[in-house]
Amino acid sequence: MTELPDKPIYQKNLEALKARNEKLAQEIVQLVIPEDYTYCLSDSGLPNCKIKVGNQDFYYHDQGDPQKEAEDFAALFSQRHSCELNSAVFGIIVGFGFGYHLLPLLDKITWLKELIIIEPDKTLFKLMLHYQDTTGVILHKNISFIVGELTLDKLRALRGAQWLNLGNRIMINWNTVTKYYLEDAGTISRVVQDFVVERSVIDKTAMVRGTMMIENRFKNIRHLFIEPNVDGLFGKFRNLPFVCVAAGPSLNNYLPDLKRIREKAVFIVADTAFKVLIEYGIVPDIVTATDPPPTKYRYFEENPHLTKDILLVTSSNTYSGLLDCWQGPIRFVVAGDGLYDFVFEKLAFPDAATFNDINTVAMLTLMLADKLGADPVILVGQDLSLASTDHAGGSSVTNTIDIIERDGKTYSRTRKPGSSTADGNIETSAHQIVEKEVFYVPDYDSRPVPTWEDFRFFITSLGGYCSHMKAPVFNLTEKGARIDGAQRVSFSEIVHYFNNEVIFKEIFNCYCERTPKELELATAHVNKCIESCQAFDQWIQYCREEIARRHLREKYDFLHNEIARSYSNSASFMRLLDMHIPAAIIRASKVNFQNYHNLSEEKRYRKKYINILRLFLSLERACSLLKGNLQSALGHHELVK
């Protein structure tokens, strides 16, 4: 163990780190530095570190002159990557060490909106904190640190990473990283790419369905005051076989087998598979639903009597008409989906368990089975690959597919029966041809099968979850994509799990409602949000008066600082307002500045002011919409009490 002096500079750095990331600061304090790490001075007198790995050792920075090494690196990188640097909006530096290369690199890209510094070596980071004053970097509002192993969860929790998919980004690997941390660099690159794909899928969902999601979330508050969370059922069905049914094309092949074992397993069915099973005479125990558009739920609205003895497990995003027509019991999940920081049920019912990363309704069926105690879990219709159709025959969302080749790429061509209107309904007299790029992923025989980008993301997500489950997961599929952690099987290989009759309904049919304490907290939360809206109205008026008497540059500086302060001091409330702002306006406020450094100062400030003013006016309108939505939800609750 290497003993380090308790220098004032270390305490100063540690306090700064606590202010930005208290959990990381605690990890640094508890970390013991091994003898393989030795602090030393370079020939030029600057701090350095000698690291021993196996039978060899190396200096993290040049032992002659670390500063010159850093400046040469920045100059060479700028020369080789000038186009990428000029168009970059976000920067990621992998490898920090003692930070000599940070300022030379930033001098080349002064217009960056956000910078993320990833230091994979946590021990080196602690050593640096003892000898290098890094408080200015740590506390900088547009610079974020990730130290140690990079995971998707760390990026999801990082404010500076939330817009990585919206603008050009550049990743810079420090010299030592490419020599001695090559495996870490590869992992970091893959995780960042996975995160960008995840954010793209989420943002596409928001752009296409954002208005409906907002509308549903506030309409469903009235249901949240009545229907309890699903948490009360956790662990109630331990060691029972669960069949999780999705609406992949192969589902039709397994309907006879599913009918044979219907009374010998708990059936959880994704909403899109419900119609297929019901019309084959299979009534599930649970239906899961998460989607905002009304189109896929027409069958439920037209046949509400079919839901009488079935449990609906859903989130507040889901089309409110489904909840209105459902005749069976309803339970809510709190979806920590990362799309918005605000979820009413998460804030109003803080003790509720959170279901993270519900990016597809099939993922909810899997998570739910796991939390209820399933053993084993059988996936059916979980193909996530393209056949002649995208879903099972008879599903309410099934479309035919043609695979075509053009310009060296593969596309799927789908003829849909109608085009979506603004409210999410289908104009049946019309039709639309939709083309999407096709990617290839391996099946269980390592053969390539076609899929879409969002399906490819779902495959990764499902595989990550299955791989960490204690209960065995089996996948009934012939030509579906390979899902890590889910073993492909034939029905004959798992039939021995279904020996006894399973009685499920008696447990969840007991009526359950919100407790008085839960309702009191929820009502208080809504009232608090309404009060925040009223205070925000006053802030809007103050800003209007201030910008009216200022010159152009002063207008921008004032408004930019005021909005930034609001997002910093009232993060949850401001993200709640963001839900009511068109995605294009938020996007422009984050990334529509990347070429401003090529304009004159006057034109640059005019463009920047127009963008920030557009955001300000949108915030004003959003506050009005939010206040109206909350007052309506609270009024409905008071009416039905």
Please report which helix (H) or strand (E) contains residue 77, including its range.
Answer: helix 66-80
* Band of pLDDT at residue 202, cut at 50, 70 and 90: low
Residue 592, domain member (yes or no): yes
* Band of pLDDT at residue 542, cut at 50, 70 and 90: very high
pLDDT average, residue stretch 233-246? 91
Please check whether residues 387 and 485 belong to one and the same domain.
yes
What is the pLDDT at residue 268?
Answer: 96
Please check whether residues 391 and 243 belong to one and the same domain.
yes
Residue 1, domain member (yes or no): no
Helix-then-strand count for the chain, H and E? 25, 24
| Better-scored residue on pLDDT, 153 or 43 | 43
Beta bridge partners of 450: 440
User: Structural domain of residue 175, as residue ranges?
Assistant: 8-200
Please check whether residues 382 and 531 belong to one and the same domain.
no
Where among 508, 540, 565 does a domain terminate? 508
Please check whether residues 537 and 498 belong to one and the same domain.
no
Residue 133, domain member (yes or no): yes
Contact 380, 268 (CB under 8 A): no
Please check whether residues 324 and 370 belong to one and the same domain.
yes
Average pLDDT value over all residues in the chain? 83
Is it the case that residue 204 has pLDDT exceeding 70?
Answer: no
Please check whether residues 612 and 489 belong to one and the same domain.
no
What is the pLDDT at residue 340?
Answer: 45
CA distances (Å), origin 424, targets 200, 299, 457, 581: 21, 15, 24, 19
Please check whether residues 124 and 83 belong to one and the same domain.
yes
pLDDT average, residue stretch 19-47? 90
pLDDT tens-digit map of 422-445: 444 545 455 567 788 888 999 999
What is the pLDDT at residue 596?
Answer: 54
Where among 483, 508, 533 does a domain terminate? 508
| Better-scored residue on pLDDT, 129 or 523 | 129
* CA end-to-end span of the chain: 64
Please check whether residues 459 and 601 belong to one and the same domain.
no
Please check whether residues 34 and 129 belong to one and the same domain.
yes
**CATH number of domain containing 17:** 3.40.50
Which of 304-318, 514-528, 609-623 comes out lowest in average pLDDT?
A: 514-528
* Band of pLDDT at residue 522, cut at 50, 70 and 90: confident
Nearest Cα neighbor of 120 from 166, 55, 173, 61 is 173
Specify the pairing of strand 330-332 against strand 432-437: unpaired
Percent of the chain scored above 70 by pLDDT? Answer: 86
Please check whether residues 295 and 164 belong to one and the same domain.
no
User: Measured between alpha carbons, how far is 598 from 595 in angstroms, rounded to an integer?
Assistant: 6
* Band of pLDDT at residue 223, cut at 50, 70 and 90: confident
Residue 420, domain member (yes or no): no
Give the highest mean pLDDT range of 294-308, 323-337, 507-521, 625-639.
Answer: 294-308
Residue 407, domain member (yes or no): no
pLDDT tens-digit map of 464-475: 899 999 999 999
Which of 142-151, 396-405, 445-454 comes out lowest in average pLDDT?
A: 396-405
∠ CA 208-212-218, rounded to 5°: 145
Residue 487, domain member (yes or no): yes
Residue 88, domain member (yes or no): yes
Please check whether residues 623 and 525 belong to one and the same domain.
yes
Q: How many CB atoms lie within 10 A of CB 528?
A: 14
Where among 452, 482, 508 does a domain terminate? 508
Contact 445, 486 (CB under 8 A): no
Please check whether residues 503 and 528 belong to one and the same domain.
no
* DSSP 3-state percent helix, strand, coil across the chain (nearest 5): 50, 15, 35
Residue 224, domain member (yes or no): no
3-state secondary structure of 612: helix
Number of domains in the chain: 3
User: Measured between alpha carbons, how far is 143 from 161 in angstroms, rounded to an integer?
Assistant: 10
Is it the case that residue 342 has pLDDT exceeding 60?
Answer: no
Is it the case that residue 640 has pLDDT exceeding 50?
Answer: no
